[in-house]
Amino acid sequence: MALYYQSEFRLGRRFGRRCRSYTGFSAFVAIVIDLTFGLTFGLIFELLSGLIALTLRLIVLTVHLAVHLLKVHWKIAVVVVTTVVYILTLPFAMLHQVVKRVKWEGRDWREEAHAGSIPKPDWGLGREL
């Protein structure tokens, strides 16, 4: 039994199809190289596609778990988010109070510009807006 290896490939429209044939030791080397590259790239592709599928599945399951936990513990989530918002805005509110206390007592150009206007109410009703 003699070793025989034949491969066909295209190099575009101009060159057409190319056929290569090997026999004997050259065929053995070509078969080993072909199997090596085929198995290597096949395994790499399988590993990468499996890893991507596993990652997507974990993301979907994490989102489902988060939605389920939010449904179960919605009031706790609202309290936590409200607390975080208040904690994040607290320094700015305190800075605003400090600026109000330390405000310069001289003449203010903004007060002069609106000297004859009617002051806006602190809390407007829906029909007044």
Angle at 31 between CA 25 and CA 34, to 5 degrees: 140
Residues 6+ apart with CB under 8 A from 24: 2, 3
Residues 6+ apart with CB under 8 A from 22: 3, 4, 5, 6, 29, 30
Flag whether 97 is in a domain: no
Structure tokens at 33: 């190289």
> Could you give the percent of the chain with pLDDT greater than 70?
79
Our count of domains for the chain comes to 1
> Could you give the percent of the chain with pLDDT greater than 90?
26
The residue range of the domain holding 19 is 4-73
Flag whether 96 is in a domain: no
Flag whether 80 is in a domain: no
The pTM for the full model equals: 0.40
Flag whether 110 is in a domain: no
Flag whether 115 is in a domain: no
Each residue's pLDDT tens digit, 67-124: 998 888 888 888 889 999 999 999 998 998 888 888 766 656 566 666 666 666 666 6
pLDDT for res 105: 62
